[in-house]
Chains A and B, each alone.
Chain A
Amino acid sequence: MAVKKTYEEINEKIRRGEAVVVTAEEIIGIVNDEGVEKAAQKVDVITTGTFGPMCSTGAFINFGHSDPPIKMTKVWLNDVPAYAGLAAVDAYIGATELSETQGMNYGGAYVIEDLIAGKNVKLEAEAYGTDCYPRKDIVTYISKDTLNEVYLFNPRNAYQNYAVAVNSSARMLYTYMGTLLPKLGNATYCSAGQLSPLLNDPFYRTIGIGTRVFLAGMQGYVAWQGTQFNPQQTRSENGVPIGTGGTLALIGNLKDMNTEFIRAATFHNYGTTMFVGVGIPIPVLDEDVVEKASVSDKDIYTTIVDYSVPQRSKPNFGKVNYAELRSGKIEINGKTVRTAPISSLNKARKIAATLKEWIKQGNFFLQQPVENFSLDQTFKPLEIVTEEEI
Chain B
Amino acid sequence: MAKKKFVLHFPEESVEKPVTYHLVKDYNLIPNILRAQIDENEGTLVVDLQGSAEQIDRGVIFLKDQGVGIQEAIQDLVINRDRCVDCGSCTGVCKPGALAIGPDDWELKFDLDKCIFCELCINTCPTRAIKVQF
Contact = CB atoms under 8 A, between A and B. Distances in A.
A138 interface: no
B102 A186 contact: no
Interface residues of A, number: 34
Contacts of A264: 127
B2 interface: no
Given A344-B106, A346-B86, A266 B91 contact: no
Interface in B100-134: 101-103, 105-107, 120, 123-124, 126-128
A250 to B, nearest CB: 19
Nearest to B127: A265
A328 B88 CA distance: 11
A326 B103 contact: yes
B85 A263 contact: yes
A345 interface: yes
A179 B124 contact: yes
Interface string A252-263: 000000000001
Contact of A347 (B85, B92, B102): B85
B65 interface: no
Contacts of B102: 326, 328, 345
B87 A266 contact: no
Determine chain B's interface SS by DSSP, over half rule: loop
Contacts of A127: none
Contact of A342 (B83, B89, B120): B89
Contact of B87 (A185, A327, A341): A341
Given A188-B92, A266-B128, A338-B92, A344 B87 contact: yes
Interface residues of B, number: 25
A340 B92 contact: yes
Nearest to A182: B41
A69 to B, nearest CB: 39
B106 A345 contact: yes
A346 to B, nearest CB: 4
Interface string B14-55: 000000000000000000000000001100000000000000
A327 B107 CA distance: 15
Contacts of B40: 183
Nearest to A272: B126
Interface string A12-48: 0000000000000000000000000000000000000
B100 to A, nearest CB: 8
A327 B104 CA distance: 11
B85 A342 contact: no
A273 interface: yes
Contact of A340 (B41, B91, B126, B128): B91
A349 interface: yes
A343 to B, nearest CB: 6
Interface in B64-91: 83, 85-91
Nearest to B88: A341
B107 A346 contact: yes
Nearest to B93: A179
A159 interface: no
Contacts of B103: 326-328
Contacts of B87: 51-53, 275, 341-344
Contacts of A338: 91-92, 95
B11 to A, nearest CB: 14
A268 interface: yes
A265 B88 contact: no
Contacts of A326: 102-103
- Point out which of B40, B88, B91, B103 has the most chain A C-beta atoms below 10 A from its C-beta: B88
B92 A265 contact: no
Contact of A178 (B41, B92, B101, B127): B92
B88 A349 contact: no
A181 B89 CA distance: 12
A186 B86 contact: no
Nearest to A180: B92
A267 interface: yes
Nearest to A339: B92
A344 B93 contact: no
Contacts of A266: 126, 128
- Point out which of B101, B124, B126 has the most chain A C-beta atoms below 10 A from its C-beta: B126
B105 A346 contact: yes
Nearest to A338: B92
Contact of B124 (A178, A182, A347): A178
25 contacts: A51-B85, A178-B89, A179-B89, A179-B93, A179-B123, A183-B41, A185-B95, A263-B83, A265-B127, A266-B126, A267-B126, A275-B85, A275-B127, A338-B91, A339-B92, A340-B89, A340-B90, A340-B91, A340-B101, A341-B88, A342-B89, A343-B87, A344-B87, A345-B86, A349-B106
Interface of A: 51-53, 178-179, 181-183, 185-188, 263-268, 273, 275, 326-328, 338-347, 349
